[in-house]
Amino acid sequence: NAGVTQTPKFQVLKTGQSMTLQCAQDMNHEYMSWYRQDPGMGLRLIHYSVGAGITDQGEVPNGYNVSRSTTEDFPLRLLSAAPSQTSVYFCASSLSYNTRNSNQPQHFGDGTRLSIL
């Protein structure tokens, strides 16, 4: 198993450009999520999905869109990039989301380092 795969690893954008960060997992995990990591801020949840066709907002969703058409893929779209979105973005997945299986660790990709000029 490859685990959680994120592409690209690095990206530089100009303000106003749009792009999609890709995330794929091959573990048949129901739950997938996107975080951003900024210095001194820890990880903040952007959007998450509890299964194909279901997404919801996290702590910092503004300026980002997600969709979950398949179990494997969970792309994150920046609609109109702003310098404040310069960050490292991590995708994570876990087996299940529901209360009965809440004791599930999350598996992380290696991140996408995004700079917005």
* Residue placing its CB nearer to another protein in the complex, 81 or 92: 92
Q: Nearest approach, Cβ of 80 to another protein (angstroms)? A: 26
Residue 57 pairs in a beta bridge with 47
Q: How many C-beta neighbours within 10 Å does residue 49 have?
A: 21
Q: Nearest approach, Cβ of 70 to another protein (angstroms)? A: 21
* Residue placing its CB nearer to another protein in the complex, 6 or 85: 6
Q: Taking the C-alpha atoms of 10, 73, 29 and 93 in order, what is their torsion angle to the nearest 10 degrees? A: 30
Contact positions toward another protein, by CB under 8 A? Answer: 4, 33, 35, 40-45, 48, 58, 90, 92, 97-99, 102-103, 105-111
Q: Nearest approach, Cβ of 15 to another protein (angstroms)? A: 26
CB 6 within 8 A of CB 23: yes
CB 94 within 8 A of CB 101: no
CB 17 within 8 A of CB 33: no
Q: Nearest approach, Cβ of 110 to another protein (angstroms)? A: 5
* Residue placing its CB nearer to another protein in the complex, 38 or 117: 38
